Chain A
Amino acid sequence: MHELPITESILNIVITYAEKNAVKKVIAINLQVGMLSDLEDEWIQRYFDHLSKGTVAEGAKLKIERIPIKLQCNSCATSYEVEKTNIGDTVCPGCGKNDGKLISGREYHIKDMEVQ
Chain B
Amino acid sequence: MEAVRLIEVKEDILADNIKIAAGVRQRLSIKKTMLLNLMSSPGSGKTSLILKTVEGLKDSIRLGVIEADIDSTVDAEKVAARGIPAIQLRTGGFCHLDATMVTQGIDALAANKLDLIIIENVGNLVCPAEFDTGAHKNVMILSVPEGDDKPLKYPLMFSICDVLLVNKIDYLSLSDFDMAVMRKRVLALNPNIRIIEVSCKTGAGIGDWIAWLKKEVAAFSLSV
Contact = CB atoms under 8 A, between A and B. Distances in A.
Nearest to B1: A116
B191 A74 contact: yes
Interface residues of A, number: 41
A105 B186 CA distance: 17
Contacts of B124: 1
A101 B126 CA distance: 20
Contacts of B158: 88
A2 B96 contact: yes
A31 interface: yes
A87 B10 contact: no
Contacts of B109: none
A37 B3 CA distance: 34
Contact of B11 (A5, A85, A110): A110
B176 interface: no
Nearest to A34: B156
A109 B8 CA distance: 11
Contacts of B127: 1-2, 38
Contact of A6 (B3, B9, B13): B13
A47 interface: no
Contacts of A27: 4
Interface in A32-51: 36-38
Contacts of B7: 17, 21, 23, 112-113, 115
Contacts of B155: 36, 84, 87-88
Nearest to A110: B9
Given A13-B9, A102-B159, A108 B14 contact: yes
Interface string B119-152: 0000010110011000000000000000000011
B98 A5 contact: yes
A1 B5 CA distance: 33
B12 interface: yes
Give the one of A5, A14, A102, A114 with max B CB within 10 A.
A5
A10 interface: yes
Interface of B: 2-17, 95-96, 98, 124, 126-127, 130-131, 151-153, 155-156, 158-159, 184-189, 191
Interface of A: 1-2, 5-6, 9-10, 12-14, 17, 21, 23-24, 27, 31, 36-38, 74, 84-90, 98-102, 106, 108-116
- Rank and list the top 9 A-B pairs by shortest CB-CB distance, nearest first: A88-B185, A2-B127, A108-B13, A110-B9, A88-B151, A98-B188, A116-B2, A1-B95, A36-B156
Given A9-B14, A36-B155, A74-B191, 16 more contacts: A13-B11, A13-B13, A23-B7, A36-B156, A85-B153, A89-B185, A98-B188, A100-B188, A102-B159, A108-B12, A108-B130, A109-B13, A110-B9, A112-B7, A114-B5, A115-B5
